């Protein structure tokens, strides 16, 4: 893993959030929250006038799901806990040891605990009322039925925005971050800086498939472990071992042998192949 050190701002993306949500669902769906200990108030949000701890204590965790990069706990009463892990947030079940920066401790039935930890403290646990729209700023789910080639082509049409920047725009497509945007563009053989409106229909179709394929494969492998990401049981993902371009500066392109380059685009490091991504 040493070669992956130094990328300070790797954020859990859709496959990591999905892996965490599935792991948590399997581990604690059906459990009741018996107690809540909040150690850092700034990491916890609740509607005005609502006590987070009081409202959540006694609730049953009906299911754990994902939306974009967020992990969502659906509580029995219709309230939800929406967790944004941001850069270094973690959700860990049943750990006797506490990870550094543990901000919230949920005591669960069956003598288990759910810990929310975040050493950098950007992550948030938000309590959302029944019917409250918390995700209005999030775009289409790339693994949902609404993400069609037509919908994607419609996003690209008429826009000067570099196609990679568009892929990262959470208001358009929810959950795709830097790792999977780089990987999908490489697979589709599309230059990351290409203005969206100049992406041909054929390339848009390839890229649409590549986004779905890369995310699906990453979920199957349990996400990517780079820096801080680990799943709910503390296990590392496997996708980092099959990355084609991300973090591989100077390594030969698996398709053409040209060294992978790194450029900046939208203030994000962007890894790609100059020869096969035109």
Sign of CA dihedral 101, 106, 107, 109: negative
Which residue of the set 55, 66, 67, 69 is catalytic? 69
- Give the closest residue to 81 by CA, choosing from 94, 96, 62, 95: 62
Among 81, 211, 214, 273, binds Zn ion (CB under 5 A): 273
Which residue of the set 12, 99, 162, 192 is catalytic? 12
Crossing angle of helices 201-220 and 149-156, in 10° steps, is 120
Residues in region 65-84 near Zn ion by CB under 5 A:
none
Number of Cβ within 10 Å of residue 62's Cβ equals 16
Residue 275 binding Zn ion, by CB under 5 A: yes
Catalytic, 268? Answer yes
Chain centroid offset of residue 278 CA:
28
Among 255, 261, 262, 268, binds Zn ion (CB under 5 A): 255
Residue 261 binding Zn ion, by CB under 5 A: no
User: Measured between alpha carbons, how far is 113 from 24 in angstroms, rounded to an integer?
Assistant: 12
Structure tokens at 264: 């900046």
State residue 19 phi and psi, 5-degree precision.
-65, -45
Which residue of the set 112, 159, 255, 268 is catalytic? 268
Strand partners, 140: 173
Size of the site for Zn ion (CB under 5 A): 7
Measured from the CB atom, is 41 or 278 closer to Zn ion?
A: 278
Residues in region 33-52 near Zn ion by CB under 5 A:
none
Which residue of the set 13, 16, 18, 189 is catalytic? 13
The piece of 30-38, 62-70, 173-181, 255-263 that touches Zn ion (CB under 5 A) is 255-263
User: Measured between alpha carbons, how far is 239 from 256 in angstroms, rounded to an integer?
Assistant: 22
> Nearest approach, Cβ of 186 to Zn ion (angstroms)?
8
Measured from the CB atom, is 115 or 188 closer to Zn ion?
A: 188
Catalytic, 13? Answer yes
Measured from the CB atom, is 153 or 276 closer to Zn ion?
A: 276
Among left, alpha and beta (phi > 0; psi -120 to 50; other), residue 30 is left
Among 120, 256, 263, 278, binds Zn ion (CB under 5 A): 256
Residues in region 224-253 near Zn ion by CB under 5 A:
253
Residue 274 binding Zn ion, by CB under 5 A: no
DSSP state of 87: T
Taking CB atoms, the residue at the shortest distance from Zn ion is 253
User: Measured between alpha carbons, how far is 20 from 14 in angstroms, rounded to an integer?
Assistant: 10
As annotated, the active-site residues are 12-13, 69, 268
Residues that bind Zn ion (CB under 5 A): 253, 255-256, 258, 273, 275-276
């Amino acid at each position: 893993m040493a070669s992956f050190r130094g990328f300070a701002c790797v954020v859990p993306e859709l496959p990591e959030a999905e892996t965490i949500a599935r792991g948590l669902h399997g581990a604690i769906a059906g459990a009741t929250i018996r107690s809540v200990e909040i150690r850092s108030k700034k990491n916890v949000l609740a509607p005005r006038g609502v006590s987070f701890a009081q409202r959540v204590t006694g609730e049953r965790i009906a299911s754990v799901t994902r939306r974009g990069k967020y992990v969502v706990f659906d509580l029995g009463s219709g309230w939800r806990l929406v967790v944004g892990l941001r850069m270094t947030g973690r959700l860990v079940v049943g750990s006797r040891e506490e990870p550094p920066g543990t901000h919230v401790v949920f005591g669960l039935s069956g003598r288990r605990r759910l810990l929310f930890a975040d050493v950098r403290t950007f992550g948030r646990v938000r309590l959302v009322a029944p019917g409250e729209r918390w995700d209005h700023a999030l775009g289409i789910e790339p693994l949902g039925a609404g993400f069609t080639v037509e919908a994607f082509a419609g996003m690209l049409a008429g826009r000067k925005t570099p196609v990679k920047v568009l892929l990262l725009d959470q208001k358009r497509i929810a959950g795709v971050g830097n790792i999977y945007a780089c990987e999908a563009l490489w697979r589709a053989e599309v230059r990351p800086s290409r203005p969206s409106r100049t992406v041909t229909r054929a390339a848009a179709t390839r890229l649409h498939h590549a986004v779905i394929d890369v995310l699906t494969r990453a979920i199957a492998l349990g996400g990517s472990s780079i820096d801080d990401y680990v799943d709910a049981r503390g296990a590392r993902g496997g996708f980092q071992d099959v990355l084609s371009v991300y973090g591989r500066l100077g390594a030969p392109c698996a398709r053409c042998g040209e060294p992978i380059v790194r450029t900046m685009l939208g203030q994000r490091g962007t890894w790609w192949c100059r020869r096969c991504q035109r």
